[in-house]
Structure 1
C-alpha cells in the first residue's frame, strides 16, 4: 500500500516513488490514479475504480499478488489514515493471506499535515482527527467523538467535511464543537492542499462558510490556546511558560 501524499509530485516520498516504479500492477481510486505521474503508470496493469469501489479493487489487487505480481495499491495522503491499508489487511486476513503474500505499507504525507503546513503550526499540541463521512461510521458515533474531542480541548482536524449528499453534517459538527469553544477560535479551511486548485482560508469558528467546503477540504479547528500569529495559525506547546522566548 503506497501513500501518494497530498497530491503534488514533489511531495511523493522517494520510497513511494520506488514502490510505484517497481510495481507491475497499480490499483487505486480513479481520482488518485490521476495524481500519479504518467511515466510511473506506463506499461503497468492498472486497476481503477470509482468511489465506493474499494472492496472490488482491493480484492483484485490481492488476486494479482497471489498470481505473483508486484502490486501497489495507492491512496492519497497516508495509506493508513482513512485509506486503503486497513481494508487490504482486513481482506487479506479474512482470506487467510497474511502469511502467504508479502505486504508492506509505504507511508505518505497525510492531508492534515499538508493542511497544517499551509496554515502554520496548528497541530503543535494534542489533536484529534474526525471524519464526518457516515458511509461506514454511524453519525451518532461521529457526534459522540466530536463532542468528546471538543470537550477535551483537542485541536480537531475534520476530514470529509461536506459532500453533495451530506450538506448538513458540517454545520452540525461546528455546532457541537461550539459548545466547548469560543466563537473567535481560529479555524483553517484548506482545499486540495499542495496540488492544483489549492485554497487556504483562515477564519474563526463562527466564520466558517460551509459553501467553500467539499470532500477534498480539511478543516483544522484550534483549541483554547490556538491564536493567529501574523498570517499563521499557531497552537503553542507550552515553551513560553518555561523559557524566555523574546
Structure 2
C-alpha cells in the first residue's frame, strides 16, 4: 500500500456552487480521481491530472470498491455525493465496502467531508419547518421493503415529528409517494402544511406549500424535497411569500 493515498467522501451541497464548503473545494483541488454518480461528477471541472469516474446510480458498492482500491494504490480520491455524503449517500456505501473488503484498506486515510443537505437547504428556503424535533425518511423502496417505510411513516406521525422525505417519487415507482401520502393523511389528518421544494438553490428552484389534504403525488419528483410539518408547524403569511416554521417549544411548555 502506498501511504500517500487517501480517500475523501465529499458532499457537493444541493446544487449552487456557492454552497460547496471550502473543505470540499480544497480536497477536489488536490484530488487525482473523482468518483460518483454521473450528474454529480459532471459538476466537477476537468483539469490536467484529474481523472473523472462517472457511473450509474445503482452501482454504489462498485464505486466504493474502486475508490478504496485506487486510494490503496496511492491515488488521492474524492467520492462525491450531492448534499451531505452521510445522509442517504455514499459514505455508508464506502464503509460497507470497507468492512467487507480487503483488510489492508482499514489503514487508509479516509475522511468524510460534510455538505449542506437538500433537507436543510429546503428548510432554509421556506423558513424553519425543522425548527423542533424532526426525522428524515428515504421513501425509495430499492433497499428496504415498503411495509418498513409505512411503519416508519405511521410511527413518525404518531410521535408528531416534522418529516423530511428524500426520493419521494421516481419514474419507475410513481405509486410509492401516493401510498405515502395516503398513510400520512390517515395518520395525521388534513391540516399539516406540506412543503414541496424542487431543485433548491438552482435556477429551476420551485417552492410550494399546501395543506396535507391538497397534496398530490404529481407535485413531487426525484429532485423534490418534501417536508411535512408537525401539528405545531405554522405559516406566516407575507406579501412577498409565506414563511413556514415549527416553534421551538412543545405543548405544555413555555413559549
Q: Same fold (TM over 0.5)?
A: yes
Is 2:201 aligned against 1:201? Answer: no
Equivalent residue number for residue 8 of structure 1: 16
Tell me the TM-score normalised to structure 2 length.
Answer: 0.90
Equivalent residue number for residue 189 of structure 1: 196
C-alpha distance in 2, partners of 1:171/1:86? 28
RMSD of aligned alpha carbons? 1.6
Q: CA distance change for structure 1 residues 42 and 236 in 2, over 3 Å: closer, same or farther?
A: farther
CA deviation vs aligned residue, 1:88-112 (integer Å, no higher than 9, x gap): 0111121124532110000000110
**Cα pair 2:98 2:106 within 8 Å, conserved:** no
Q: Note the 1:83-94 alignment, pairs <5 A.
A: 83-94=89-100
Q: CA distance change for structure 1 residues 81 and 27 in 2, over 3 Å: closer, same or farther?
A: same
Equivalent residue number for residue 238 of structure 1: 249
Q: CA distance change for structure 1 residues 239 and 136 in 2, over 3 Å: closer, same or farther?
A: closer
Aligned-residue offset at 1:182: 3.0
Tell me the TM-score normalised to structure 1 length.
Answer: 0.93
**Cα pair 1:187 1:203 within 8 Å, conserved:** yes
Equivalent residue number for residue 142 of structure 1: 149
Q: CA distance change for structure 1 residues 98 and 125 in 2, over 3 Å: closer, same or farther?
A: farther
CA deviation vs aligned residue, 1:132-182 (integer Å, no higher than 9, x gap): 101111111111111110111000111100011111111111111122323
Alignment: residue pair count: 241
Structure 1 runs not aligned, ≥5 long? none
Equivalent residue number for residue 50 of structure 1: 56
Q: CA distance change for structure 1 residues 128 and 46 in 2, over 3 Å: closer, same or farther?
A: same
SS at match of 1:105: strand
C-alpha distance in 1, partners of 2:136/2:104? 31
C-alpha distance in 1, partners of 2:248/2:104? 44
